[in-house]
Amino acid sequence: MRRYILLVLLAAMTLAVLGGTGIAEAANPLLITNVGQGAESAMVNVLCKKEKIAATLNDTITASELAGPDGKAKFSFMAVVVGYSGKGMGAAGVNIDQELVRAHELMKKAQSLKLPIIIMHIGGIDRRGESSDRLIKEIFKYANYALFVSAGNYPDSGALDKNKPDNLLTNSLPKGVTPKIVSKINDIVAPLKGIMGL
């Protein structure tokens, strides 16, 4: 997992140097953000750039930054990648309680702007555990759409080996929201495009 994250971040740096060549710009791009400060939001951003989906990555965006001067949402959709990382939280200078305050304010502002929220969990069992599970239980309820890797429905590697999911991700979604479930991170692009109507 760590090796994969490093490769993805290197790819992100390469894309930055290339400056978005061949990527269509949109007046209202997809916003990619994060709750828990895991590295997976960067992975989503790289995949979007590769597939020419106009996107903006901001892992620490606040509610006040969602709207423009006209009071309308600056983005077409908001993809919220959920997963706790102690290192990521430390780098951002926040604790889990502060992160949740920001997240709740962000979600409520998005709702008031009628900005569709795509809840994502793509770190699998590496983004489960007490802290990640707390984020899942508090944030998944805001989903208009949901997209996650199937392994995330297992609490740990032992449960995965025994094929005994707890289905926390699925069960934490609001009634009427059916998740798009994929087997690996690289498979998220097609269902994401489908959600966005691309």
Give me the residue spans of the domains in the chain.
29-196
Q: Which H or E run contains 57? A: strand 55-57
pLDDT in tens, 105-161: 999 999 999 999 999 999 999 999 999 999 999 999 999 999 999 999 999 999 999
Task: Give the residue from 180, 185, 183 showing the smallest Cα distance to 195.
Answer: 180
What is the CB neighbour count within 10 angstroms for residue 97?
Answer: 8
CA–CA gap between residue 42 and residue 50 (Å, rounded): 12
Based on its alpha-carbon atoms, the radius of gyration of the chain, rounded to whole angstroms, reads 16
The fold of the 29-196 domain, in CATH, is Rossmann fold (3.40.50)
Rounded to two decimals, the pTM is: 0.85
pLDDT in tens, 31-47: 999 999 999 999 999 99
CA atoms within 13 A on the CB side of 28: 13
18 pLDDT tier (thresholds 50, 70, 90): very low
